[in-house]
Structure formats: structure tokens, C-alpha cells
Structure 1
């Protein structure tokens, strides 16, 4: 089994990444292969609604930019997907929005290839707005007929500066349990 995680923060070593590392460590303890991909800061763009993916049906977006088709392919190959985003004005980062829009359209154009996969949102926020980000990512998982495990709280951490996650014990414990729950669900489904 394999889980691919996307760090949607342009702060490559920020709280979003650290949260992802906590979840991935739990998956690795259970023998699940993981990959962490740096999405934030990439030059990726939103969907243009050209509908070529519906015509081509080749599991690819017709638009070519920084690695987007590579990211989409990794999602389709994985058993589980984690999308991590910082909170920017109560929403996901632009890179995460581009990923979920384009991957979602391509998936739906190709016989709903994300159906049945496990999806997990992970959010970092300075203070507020995190539940909107959490919802935006979950909406992507839901419309793609994916299975979403829970934790003891919403999958978020609070902290403004990189490293502040280390002060958020509740957030870290939420991510640890999330990793354990995702591993258990993956094992049951596979």
C-alpha cells in the first residue's frame, strides 16, 4: 500500500509539512509506503474548463505546467492521499486549489478513478479559518467518492511561525491518531 502526501504550503519546512510528517510516520510504522511531495511554491495553475481530459480520457490534464500531471498520476496510483494546506484568508493555498480542481476533473472524466481511495485533509492555521480549509479539501474527497477517516478532532494545528506546531500538543496528538486511523482503514480496505 502507498500513501502520497502533498505539502500545499510554500514554506517547505513549515507547520503544514511537519504535520504531514507526523501522520506519515504513523503510516510507516504500519508498513505503509509513503511519499511527501512539495506542492506549495510550484507554478501550477487552475483548471481552464477546456474539457480535453473528457475527450482524451488518458488520465492526464491537457494543460502542461510544473509537474501537475505527475502529481495527478501519483494520486491515481496511490491507495491513500493526504492533502495539507496552510490557511490563507480562510481557504486553501492556490497550489492546493489547482491540484484539487484539476485532479478532480481528470478523475471524474476517467471513470472516477479516485473512487474508494482513502483521503485525508491536514490544515495549519495561525489562528482561525482552518475549518473552511478542512472542508474544502474534504469536499474534493467527497465528490470523488473517497473514504475519509477521522481523528479525535479536526485535522488541524495552530501556529504562525514555522515550528510552532511543536507547541501544539493537541494538534500533534490529533495527527498521530489520524495516521493510526488512516493505516487501519487502508488495511481494512486493501
Structure 2
């Protein structure tokens, strides 16, 4: 069975970012695709120390094993598709998801092709500004790992401040639903079904 993991980069486990990812998941589940939401809330993911050990060892892991990073990267490698989600913090992504993609980038560079031909999408929850910058950051990571990016009828973002407010952004929620439909279609094409 095909599987998509969604990484919720928000410090709020059940906030607007989780709602957006779950909306995409609903469409995937209806198409018979298994999903798993991974929340970075409350998890420790340290920043990259540029030690270079992963380049020497090439064992698909970071040498730092005392945090959540290797578990998260392992789930990304095992999945057929990946959704990265973040709220906007200071016109960018959260420090939690930034640490994940920074360390992932180096480990994946040392072990080429681990995400190649997987399907990826980014979703952003924003109060007002900075959504495009955050969206670009996540997409740059997915694109540089040779993944196929899934889009929608507009940018993959929805607006709301308090928890649940993104549901009031009708266009944003329709876009999330459409991402799920497009991701399911592409996954099935790649799998030949």
C-alpha cells in the first residue's frame, strides 16, 4: 500500500498546519492511500553542526542520535510521498522544520537518491504575510531532492490566526483538497495503477 507522511512543523500539535495537512490526507485516504501525521511539536530536533560525519559514514542517518531527527528522516525515506507543513514565523518556516530540512539535506546529499521520484507537497498556514517565502523554502528542499512537486489551483497556503481559522479561508481549503486529489493521481500514475 502506498503511504504519505505529513510533517507538521508547527509548535502547535493540533493547530492550523495540522488542519491543512489533515485536509490533504482526507483526499488521499479516500483514494486508498495510507497516511501518517508526524508532529514536530514537543520533539527535539537540533540544528546541523556541519560535522561532516554523515558524508563519511553514508549510513542514511545523522551521527547525532539523541533527538527525533533520525526517526523522522527514516519515515520520510520509507514513504511514497511527503507533505511538509509549517506556519509562518518571521516571514519564513519554523525553526523546528528548518532544522529538519537542514540536517536532511546533508544526510540526503551523502546518500544520493533516497527521495528521488517521490511525490512531495508543501502547505503553509499564515496569519497575513510571509507565506510565499515559507512555501519557497519547503519547495526548494523537496525540489532539490529530485521529488515531483504537487501543486493546486493556487499556492498551497491558507490564512488564519487562531486555531481553526484556516477553515474560514474557503479558497485555501479547496486548494488543500485539490492537493490531495492531485497527489493521489500522481502517486497512482507513478505506481502504474
TM-score, reference length from structure 1 = 0.97
Please give the alpha-carbon distance, in whole angstroms, between the structure 1 residues aligned to 2:106 and 2:33: 28
SS of aligned partner of 1:101: helix
Deviation at 1:143, TM superposition (A): 1.0
State how 1:1-190 maps to structure 2 within 5 Å: 1-190=2-191
SS of aligned partner of 1:121: strand
TM-superposition CA deviations, 1:79-114 (whole Å, max 9, x none)? 100000000011100010011111121111112211
Structure 1's unaligned 5+ residue stretches are: none
SS of aligned partner of 1:116: coil
Please give the alpha-carbon distance, in whole angstroms, between the structure 1 residues aligned to 2:143 and 2:32: 26
How many aligned positions are there? 190
TM-superposition CA deviations, 1:89-144 (whole Å, max 9, x none)? 11100010011111121111112211111110000000111000000000001111
RMSD after superposition: 0.9
Please give the alpha-carbon distance, in whole angstroms, between the structure 2 residues aligned to 1:11 and 1:155: 19
Deviation at 1:164, TM superposition (A): 0.2
Structure 2's unaligned 5+ residue stretches are: none
SS of aligned partner of 1:85: strand
TM-score, reference length from structure 2 = 0.96
Please give the alpha-carbon distance, in whole angstroms, between the structure 2 residues aligned to 1:80 and 1:72: 13
SS of aligned partner of 1:50: coil
SS of aligned partner of 2:75: helix
Deviation at 1:40, TM superposition (A): 3.0
